Structure 1
Amino acid sequence: MRRACLVAALSGALALGSAPAAPVVAAAGFTTSMEVFEPGGTIHRAMVTRPAGDRAAARIARPAQVIPIETNGPSDTTFDLVVVGDGYTAGEMSTFSGHVRAAVDALFSVEPYKSYRKQFNIWQVDVVSPQSGITNDPTQGVQRNTALGSYFWCGGIERLLCTDETKANQYAAAAPDVDQVLVLANSTKYGGAGGGVATASGGNGQSTQIVEHELGHSIGGLADEYDYGDCDPAEPTKPNASALTADRMRARQAKWYRYLGRPSPDGGTVGAYQGSRYCRTGMYRPSQNSIMRTLGQPFNPPSTDAMIAGFYREAPNRAPHRQVG
């Protein structure tokens, strides 16, 4: 995906695959649906009111230095992940570099990222902040002057880490291409947020699991598999959620019918498990648990293949042949 198209799309979207309602703009800010990630791995959606400045038409002072962390091919055939820092001073760029490498190593230690690492280009954008750390860390009320204004307690939720998305996209645009923006904040506190501009604490290893989940949306087009939120009972287009039971899938040869009964890396088998895509009943997921339901879990087989297809979205002729059944 070329940068101009991506930045235009991301400026108005939070999480691909999640289909949140359009933001409600108010004089004091805007209200939107966001994913919230708890330390134990639980995920839920919440309506969050954010300051208007988080999406203001701000302009960055100057482009930041871009460092290639890993380049595996031209951008028109690879997925470009761009990591932007916030809360790192000029003297802390080595700390930021260490956080980027730790996050990348953690991401590519799990499947299917591990086996398809060569389909990624990874770029580091060195953004210098006047002060070290971020606002509301370690406690609410602490103020930091940072380049992107990242802060905990977004919308009154302690672990929700928000940032100036407009500026993050502007800094990321200095990279050769952009398919996903990740902002790492200079903090060891667990936290993050989902979206086209995903956020995570650079100094907290567990926060990288948020990135694994968010790329499920943006690369694989996957639905959330947890069952709390605003339920839409209609049959979704997402490959890992369905209103069909296992028997109806087989009869119609629909959705993940070819995978039914196959082993799943969460320890069970692929089936049709009730409770998915914000619905407690009437909507099914392929496995008992997966990273699209709980952080720290693996992708289930239908989602894994959707991710692999997404890795090669810009280079379909290079994609490996995979047959299920």
Structure 2
Amino acid sequence: MATGLHELGHSAFGLADEYDYASTCNESGRDFHPAVEPAAANVTVNSSFSTLKWGHLVDASTPMPTSTRDDCSVCEGPGLSPTTPGTVGAYTGGNHYHCGVFRGEYDCKMRAHGEPFCAVCQERINAALFPFFP
């Protein structure tokens, strides 16, 4: 069920993967995301609070970017969040790249199938479904 909801995030709502690898963490060529803004609502190459796609969801006290990496040649392991769960910010890694791209929360269904959708993804899902509500 969790994988099905993750895949629905792609097909129905245009969400990108938020994990930082394409097939395995040991692959090469996934160090830096191209400097082109992704179309998906849940990943960005921008970490500026004032122009961030989901900046309206970020608390003013949250550091931007919210997480960084010293080594962009490796994947980030689970359980290393620098913030409490549910904190919206700009977390390094996503869209199949280790660095140069950001996601809205440390964990999300688009990163780890067992997690709930993050606030950024929930907002996109709600916007897509809203026209169909009575």
TM over 0.5: yes
1:228 aligned to which of 6, 11, 21: 21
1:257 aligned to which of 36, 42, 55: 55
For residues 10-25 of structure 1, what are the structure 2 equivalents within 5 Å? none
Counterpart Cα distance in 1 of 2:11 and 2:44 = 19
Q: Counterpart of 1:270?
A: 88
Counterpart Cα distance in 2 of 1:287 and 1:235 = 18
Runs of at least 5 residues in structure 1 that lack an aligned partner in the other structure:
1-207, 321-325
Counterpart Cα distance in 1 of 2:50 and 2:6 = 31
| Structure (1/2) with the larger strand percentage | 1
Q: Counterpart of 2:67?
A: none
Q: Does 1:298 align with 2:119?
A: no
Post-superposition offset of 1:214:
0.6
Aligned partner letter, 1:212: L
| Matched residues, number | 102
Post-superposition offset of 1:273:
0.4
Partner of 1:219, secondary structure, is helix
Deviations 1:132-155 (A, max 9, x none): xxxxxxxxxxxxxxxxxxxxxxxx
Counterpart Cα distance in 1 of 2:38 and 2:133 = 25
Partner of 2:99, secondary structure, is strand
Aligned partner letter, 1:222: L
For residues 51-62 of structure 1, what are the structure 2 equivalents within 5 Å? none
Aligned partner letter, 1:251: S
Q: Does 1:211 align with 2:10?
A: no
Over the residues paired in the alignment, what is the CA RMSD in angstroms? 2.1
Post-superposition offset of 1:319:
4.3
Aligned partner letter, 1:261: D
Contact in 2 for aligned 1:241/1:284 (Cα 8 Å)? yes
Counterpart Cα distance in 2 of 1:319 and 1:236 = 28
Larger Rg: 1
TM-score by length of 1: 0.29
TM-score by length of 2: 0.68
For residues 107-186 of structure 1, what are the structure 2 equivalents within 5 Å? none
Runs of 4+ in 1 over 6 A off after TM superposition: none
Counterpart Cα distance in 2 of 1:211 and 1:251 = 34
Counterpart Cα distance in 2 of 1:288 and 1:243 = 16
Contact in 2 for aligned 1:309/1:319 (Cα 8 Å)? no
Post-superposition offset of 1:257:
0.4
Q: Which has the higher contact order (CA 8 A, sep 6+)?
A: 2
Counterpart Cα distance in 1 of 2:50 and 2:57 = 14
Post-superposition offset of 1:302:
1.3
Q: Counterpart of 1:37?
A: none
Contact in 2 for aligned 1:213/1:292 (Cα 8 Å)? yes
Q: Counterpart of 1:240?
A: 42
Aligned partner letter, 1:216: G
Partner of 1:288, secondary structure, is coil
Partner of 2:43, secondary structure, is coil
Q: Counterpart of 1:307?
A: 125
Counterpart Cα distance in 2 of 1:271 and 1:219 = 24
Post-superposition offset of 1:251:
2.5
Aligned partner letter, 1:238: A
Post-superposition offset of 1:295:
1.1
Post-superposition offset of 1:307:
1.0
Contact in 2 for aligned 1:220/1:309 (Cα 8 Å)? no
